[in-house]
Structure 1
Amino acid sequence: MKNCLIFVLGVLSLCSAAAQAEQIGSVDTVFKLFGPDHKIVVEAFDDPDVKNVTCYISRAKTGGIKGGLGLAEDTSDAAISCQQIGPVEVSDDIKKGGDKGTVVFKQRTSLIFKKLQVVRFYDPKRNALVYLSYSDKVVDGSPKNAISAVPIIPWGNR
């Protein structure tokens, strides 16, 4: 019973990470007679630790009956683009620590074992934030990845 409760709480915590992204739109890629079509979805999320940086992710979403029930495993294909949308405010902790890799976004891409992650790095030499998206799996991850950089530049009349 205790193991079952831990399992359920773990699954719920993975599901809660999905609420961080806002779906912007989608396009169908394969028609499925039963269940939703396969598609590419575009989602946006704001960096939780850096004010005025928004990242957009496009990723494959499996349809069909298994996809409609949330049982399908999505492919590891994803792209990312991060943008400055106002004056960027980077904390001293990020600047001093060099931000060697902080997970800023997680989205499950299978029922339990696979997730899409975005990790932020700080490049002090170039004064930029670098965002890496990749997919991992408990046993075997994927080398497929995408990267986006946001230079920290003055905004407006500052």
Structure 2
Amino acid sequence: MNKNAFALAAFAILASSARAETVGDVSTTFRLLGANNKIVVDVFDDPKVSGVSCYLSHAKTGGIKGSLGIAEDTSDAAVACRQVGPIGFSGTIPQEEEVFTERSSLLFKHVRVVRMADKKRNTLVYLVYSDRVIEGSPKNSVTAVPVPRETPLPVK
């Protein structure tokens, strides 16, 4: 693969993933040195479904390692997606697709949100989980957004 094709593929992958904004956070543990442990609430819009926003709460480890960005966050996360406007689709969507990812350790751990299409019920299902190269976590959270019947899911 030449350099231009590789760069274009990398850009396409980055562009398809949603970007989050932080709504707020609460401290859960006081740390004498470095930042406190926190629960952070972020929001992102589904990149292929207009009118749907997802709120993601997840743990952030504080202390000196957390302040330096080298701490590993726990796998605790929850997601709540809601219709915030008219639902529309920018083309077809796959049956299952990752719509958000964020690193939760320096190298090998991520928090991921996957959108699944329940065509029979005309509903979008969002699952949050944490993975790691060697060992992931079974902790997860799920939410669903029903789509009005007059707007059928355009699943590939």
Q: TM-score by structure 1 length?
A: 0.81
Q: Which runs of 5+ in 2 are unaligned?
A: 1-9, 151-156
What is the number of residues matched between the two proteins? Answer: 138
Give the Cα separation in 1 of the matches to 2:103 and 2:121: 32
Counting aligned pairs with the same residue, the percent is 55
Instruction: Report the RMSD for the aligned CA atoms in angstroms.
Output: 2.3
Match of 2:104 among 105, 109, 123: 109
CA drift at 1:90? 2.8
CA distance in 2, matches of 1:48, 1:18: 7
Q: Which residue of 2 aligns with 1:29?
A: 28
Aligned residue for 1:50? 49
SS at match of 1:118: strand
Post-superposition CA distance 1:26-74 (Å, at most 9, x none): 0000000000000100000000010110000000100000000000000
Letter in 2 for 1:30: T
Relative to structure 1, is the Cα distance of residues 49 and 19 closer, same or farther in structure 2, using a 3 angstrom cutoff?
A: closer
Distance 1:53 1:34 in 2: 39
Q: CA deviation at 1:17?
A: 9.7
In the other structure, the counterpart of 2:89 is 90
Match of 1:3 in 2: none
CA contact (8 A) 1:42 1:58 kept: yes
Conserved 8 A contact 2:17-2:47: no
**Regions of 4+ moved over 6 Å:** 15-19
Asked if structure 1 preserves the Cα contact closer than 8 Å seen for 2:18 and 2:45, the reply is no
Q: Which moved more, 1:77-86 or 1:19-28?
A: 19-28
CA distance in 1, matches of 2:84, 2:53: 7
Q: Gapped runs of 5+ residues in structure 1?
A: 1-9
Larger helix fraction of residues = 1
The alpha-carbon distance between structure 1 residues 129 and 49, as it changes in their structure 2 partners (threshold 3 A), is same
The AA in structure 1 aligned to 2:75 is: S
2:121 matched to 1:126? yes
Q: 8 Å contact 1:17–1:107 — kept in the other structure?
A: no
Assess if the C-alpha contact under 8 Å between 1:114 and 1:138 holds in 2: yes
Aligned with 2:92: secondary structure? Answer: helix
Alpha-carbon distance in structure 2 between the residues aligned to 1:68 and 1:16: 28
Following superposition, the deviation at residue 115 of structure 1 comes to: 0.3
- 1:124 is displaced (CA, Å) by 0.6
Kept after mapping to 2: 8 A contact 1:87/1:154: no
Q: CA deviation at 1:154?
A: 7.1
Distance 1:143 1:52 in 2: 30
TM-superposed CA distance for 1:80, in Å, is: 0.4
